[in-house]
Amino acid sequence: MQGAARRRPFPAAAPGSPQPAGPLYPGRHGAVKNEDTFKTSPFHLDLWFYFTLQNWVLDFGRPIAMIILPLEWFPLNKPSAGDYFHMAYNVITPFLLLKLIERSPKTLPRSMIYVSIIMFVMGASIHLVGDSVNHRLIFSGYQHHLSVRENPIIKNLKPETLIDSFELLYYYDEYLGHSMWYIPFFLILFIYFTGCFTPVEEESRMPVAALLLMGPSSLYYWYLVTEGQIFILYIFTFFAMMALVMHQKRKGLVLDSNGLFLFYSFIITLVLIALWVVWLWNDKILRKKYPGVIYIPEPWAFYTLHMNNLHPAKESF
């Protein structure tokens, strides 16, 4: 009787009750990790299409809408059409990023994702204010290919301390706003990219729809990097992707269709940036605006320097 008592079997758990974690009862976290290893995800045509569409319309299209639409519809002391585009972008993009993370076949760090989304919204909102004023200044003769203090309309400001205020506005727009906007954006894309690997080589193929979206997507990333002046952030993200691909390849894992779409888009973006720099390599005015080792002019600086013939007609309003 005493030996039987010592060899009493472990009581079975009641049906529906949680099993104790241990060698015989693997915990839920271990089960999730095993599932993450073998899960795969089909190409997210809807999400990538929505991303590309709203990026082109709400981000690239907002300054164009501000210039094209009549000034009497949106006076200079009121938000422009581009500002409303920017507001919509600040709401839709975080939502799409969260939906993209939800579809990842790998369990990703939620706390880092949430903090990144919060920083993204803060940075994009700061940029909204600074970019709104800077783009509206175009109608008053502001030239983006010149620095703040070199602009003719800024030089004549009295008292001169007002120039410091405009430089502060430029800092919030081009530096603080861009950093808080783009760093979380690329971080979220990279975190999602870490889950885009599969052991099945047959799933490492892109559908025709992905090939069609790759061109517009890459062209938008070119605009994002050049206009946002974030080449260092972009190239470090790209190098991290390359290192991860090589590391996972040693384990016998390859990129799935979503990972290939993102990776190839970044490769094409790098080619477009190189062509852009080569084309404007000998532009002396832009060289003065962008000194230093890394010379990547902004598209809007190029516009105000070489294609600003629309402004005289607008200034008559």
Q: Where are the domains of the chain?
A: 45-310
pTM of this prediction?
0.79
The candidate with the shortest Cα–Cα distance to 48, out of 241, 240, 264, is 264
Predicted confidence at residue 307, as pLDDT, reads 73
Predicted local distance difference test score (pLDDT) of residue 308: 65
Cβ contacts of 177 within 8 Å, gap of 6 or more: 123, 124, 126, 127, 130, 131
pLDDT digits (tens, 9 = 90+) for 16-45: 444 444 433 344 343 344 444 446 678 999
- Residues of the chain with pLDDT below 70 are 1-40, 202-203, 308-317
Residue 34: its pLDDT value, please? Answer: 44
Query: CA-CA distances (angstroms) from residue 239 to 55, 100, 197, 246, 266?
Result: 24, 22, 17, 11, 10
Q: Please give the pLDDT value at position 63.
A: 83
Q: Which amino acid is at 139?
A: F
pLDDT of residue 6: 46
Taking the CA atoms of residue 237, residue 238, residue 239 and residue 241 in that order, the dihedral angle to the nearest 10 degrees is: 90
What separation, in Å, do the N-terminal and C-terminal C-alpha atoms of the chain show? 103
Q: Which position has the token pair 């400001």?
A: 157
